[in-house]
Amino acid sequence: MTLDYERDPRAIYAQSFATIEAEARLDALPAEMRPLAIRLIHACGMVDVVEDLRFSDGAVAAGRAALQRGATGDAGDRAAPVAGSAGMADDHGRPPCTILCDAEMVGRGIIARALPDGVRTRVTLNDTAVPELARTLSTTRSAAAVELWRDDLAGAIVAIGNAPTALFHLLERLEAGWPRPALILGFPVGFVGAAESKQALAELPHGVPYVTLLGRRGGSAMAAAAVNALTLGLGGDGT
């Protein structure tokens, strides 16, 4: 038996994006947000997520500027970043951007070859210190893992696609005076705390650029898609 379906990956990709552009209300968004929204829709299959998107002015520009801080080498010399490795400083002595992820699935979904040279992803959820931190703080492992972000947080991109408690904990630490990341991509998913944590991200005066999706929807694929959208046109292999 031979089923009739599209087999050409380029055609599938083009048709998917054409469908999104035809069905989603992208004209309601600022021009800089539309490529990011398209990739969020592509990750979840729901064009109506546009209605629940919330973002601060200049959020995409802030994220792209942070990524470009890692562009320390020529594209031909680019190697995939290694989680946990230290990147080279740029010409101004600033360390390259770190992408802090709350779950391994978020980190795995980020297209490493599209990242500027020196940019790395970091996931601390499975660090050996996390279980004891969670017990000490009387919280979840996901929230405790955020405690290990502090040294990398200044100028970082935070991508949360799983645990509402991670986003809540980050907001608490920012209120307590922790270093400010360049951008928070808040897409925790679920029935307990997801909507509330994202509402807090959108409403609290933390002073950090953000993109989030109100309500229960979200997930690791959407958080990774948001990061991948930021890499478009930065000289890597992003598409």
Rg over alpha carbons for the chain, rounded to the nearest Å, is 18
In a domain, 32, yes or no: no
Tokens of 66: 């942070």
Residue-wise DSSP of 155-196: T-EEEE-S-HHHHHHHHHHHHTTPPPPSEEEE---SSSSHHH
In a domain, 127, yes or no: yes
For helices 194-203 and 164-175, give the axis angle rounded to 10 degrees. 30
Catalytic residues: 42
* Burial class of residue 213 (count of CB atoms within 10 Å of its CB; 0-12, 13-18, 19+): buried
In a domain, 22, yes or no: no
In a domain, 135, yes or no: yes
Tokens of 202: 């959108």
Count of Cβ atoms closer than 10 Å to residue 89 Cβ: 14
Quote the CA–CA distance of 58 and 32 in Å, as a whole number: 8
Q: Are 97 and 64 in contact (CB under 8 A)?
A: no
In a domain, 11, yes or no: no
Q: pLDDT tens, position by position, for the chain (239 residues)? A: 999 999 999 999 999 999 999 999 999 999 999 999 999 999 999 999 999 999 999 999 999 999 998 654 333 333 333 344 344 444 445 568 999 999 999 999 999 999 998 999 999 999 999 999 999 999 999 999 999 999 999 999 999 999 999 999 999 999 999 999 999 999 999 999 999 999 999 999 999 999 999 999 999 999 999 999 999 876 555 44
Mapped onto helix, strand or coil, the DSSP state of residue 18 is helix
List the CATH number of the domain containing 215.
Answer: 3.40.50.10230
How are strands ordered across the β-sheet holding 183-186? Answer: 53-55, 210-213, 183-186, 157-160, 98-101, 120-123
In a domain, 2, yes or no: no
In a domain, 9, yes or no: no
**pTM for the model:** 0.88
Mapped onto helix, strand or coil, the DSSP state of residue 54 is strand
pLDDT in tens, 47-76: 999 999 999 999 999 999 999 986 543 333
Which ranges constitute the DSSP H helices of 45-193? 59-68, 104-109, 130-137, 141-146, 150-153, 164-175
In which domain, by residue range, is 221 found?
Answer: 52-230
In a domain, 146, yes or no: yes
The length of the chain in residues reads 239
User: What total of structural domains would you count in the chain?
Assistant: 1
Quote the CA–CA distance of 116 and 50 in Å, as a whole number: 28
